[in-house]
Amino acid sequence: KGGNWPNAANINPSAFVDALFQTHLYTGNGGTQTITNDINLSGSGGLVWIKERDNAESHQLTDTERGNTKVLSSDGTAAEGTVTTRVTGFNSNGFSLGSNASVNQSSTGYVSWTFRKQPKFFDVVTFSATGSGSLTLSHNLGSAPAFIIVKSTSHTQSWYCYHHSLNGGTDPEDYFLKLDSNVAEAGPASSYWGGTAPTSTQFTVGTDLNISGRSYVAYLFAHNNDDGGFGEPGDQDIIKCGSYTGGTATQEINVGFEPQWVMIKNITSSEDWVIFDVMRNFVRQTSGSGNSSALRPNSNAAEGDQARVHPSASGFGFVDDTHNSVNASSQTYVYMAIRRGGMQTPTAASDVFDVDINTQAINSSNAPPRTPFPVDAAIYRNRGGSSSWVLGSRLQGTNALFPNLTNAESDNYMTWDAMDGWNNSNSSWEASGDFLFYGLKRARGYFDVVSYTGTGSARTVSHNLGVAPEMMWIKNRGATENWVVYHSGIDSSTPEDYYLRLNQTSARIDVDGGAGNRFNRTAPTTSVFTVGTDGDVNGDGVAYISYHFATVANVSKVGSFTQSGATNV
């Protein structure tokens, strides 16, 4: 906490989501491998949830309370199995895998979601049934659970779910969902939660989850409501469980932070559960397929495009999409959302910035250089030719922009599903060259990326930089428009009255040239920036991307200087 970038040695795990939850992508090798995600499972306990992405294969759930050899599948009702070659160990910085094809088949893509036990975030409870009425159980979540999943480990039985938004939030303890099924919410029935709402210390299971001779596991998830106490300021939320009504094609669901992982269920109709995460194409694209990639807890199906659902700086939303699973008219949905990482200020540039030179081709057989961390944005150029600069980000998916041009986004440039950089998605592009690459990771006080939709009226837009941006690059993603640049050093008193164009060599443009319509003559703050009415920054219904930069001691500097004579020192 104290400004340290997180690693196993210096992180205060109760402070940051980075040490409590991780989405980690990996490729199977058919042997053994160790997944390092900086989650202390051996010391603190938790859950590892693995799904093969490329083929139909059951979900694999293993937790520290039952032991690494005990496996359940959320897409089935079977009792737990004992397998010694799947998760072979829980480590202080992740977990180890054996050779089993369900988790480690050679040349096959997988995703793992790791939840660490922590008050106000997540807990695991195992229990044996008494067979006598309702059973009250203790937990260590430190707050009333908002989402509970219970499964019999010894017998064939469905996965039963409590969510505090069921039945519109009125007596949700009388209703239930099934994680292994696409059925709508059911109830009222007191036989699952005993008709008793969970508290900050206890939860109750009814007769159908307290069957004599059976053993069970319960996964408990919190809901922070301005009381999380996480993050560098110590006042941030990292997990939210809520509900919304679908049907508005461009609606935004405000959860109070930008999520990295969202699970959604239509509780009005029979629709699959869906999970999105930012490592697997949870994006807002303006061209190409435009869909985000989903996995379904109640299905063994491979990963597939689901709907045009995307993260925003304060939640998640939809782009002209009323898909039944996430946003159908008059349908009710419940969700669980987990905040993205990067909640702390970096202390070393090498943790958040990487530069490399590559003299190979940028095509499917020769991917860009690898980075020591997952990047959130990349900018590169063929130094030996006449190609333009290319700039993309995780929030844009495969689309890219060109900082020296006014062009709209083009599709099929980058893919971001990697833990060590990004990949090229166009096998025929840039067959050879001398390339310069920059990779950036989002972090508090240093760098942020915001995707937003214009309204045509002056407005504020939320960001997650945590400090006032000192420089912003804004671009209309869907049309030929100039780049707009805000810089705190452009004027000594009112920099918000001026702007620059990234794609031009022209001097600063003052308010008479339209700056008032760019930033509405309002300087950005620690939580929002302001855009005026100009189409460069805020056309009605238009998609925009904004890259934000700021100064961090010993890491980055945004400033200005005055030329004096022939040299500067």
Per-residue pLDDT tens digits for 308-323:
789 999 999 987 677 8
State which amino acid sits at residue 387.
Answer: S
Residue 429 scores a pLDDT above 70 = yes
- Is the predicted pLDDT of residue 245 greater than 80, yes or no? yes
Is the per-residue pLDDT at 350 higher than 80? yes
The CA-based angle 460-463-467, given to 5 degrees, is 105
Structure tokens at 520: 């509405």
Yes or no: say if 276 and 262 are a contact pair by the CB < 8 Å rule.
yes
Contact 433, 387 (CB under 8 A): yes
Of the pLDDT bands very low, low, confident and very high (cuts 50, 70, 90), residue 412 is confident
Please state which of the ranges 80-84, 118-122, 327-331, 564-568 shows the lowest mean pLDDT.
564-568
Kindly report, residue by residue over 388-408, the tens digit of the pLDDT.
Answer: 999 999 999 989 999 999 999
pTM of the complete model: 0.95
Question: What SS3 class is residue 495?
Answer: helix
Residues whose CB is less than 8 angstroms from the CB of residue 76 and which lie 6 or more positions away in sequence, other chains included: 58, 180
Q: Is the pLDDT of residue 7 over 60?
A: no
Residue 8 DSSP code: T
Pairing of strands 274-277, 353-358: unpaired
d(CA 181, CA 128): 24
Contact between residue 478 and residue 542 where contact means Cβ atoms under 8 Å apart: yes
Share of the chain above pLDDT 90, in %: 80
Three-state secondary-structure class, residue 480: coil
Q: What is the DSSP string of 317-330?
A: EESS---TTT--TT
Question: 483 near 544, Cβ under 8 Å?
Answer: no
Calculated CA dihedral for residues 475, 476, 480, 483, nearest 10 degrees? -20
Residue 101 structure tokens: 């094809």
pLDDT number for residue 482: 96
Cβ-contact 149, 235 below 8 angstroms: no
pLDDT-derived band at 2, boundaries 50, 70, 90: very low
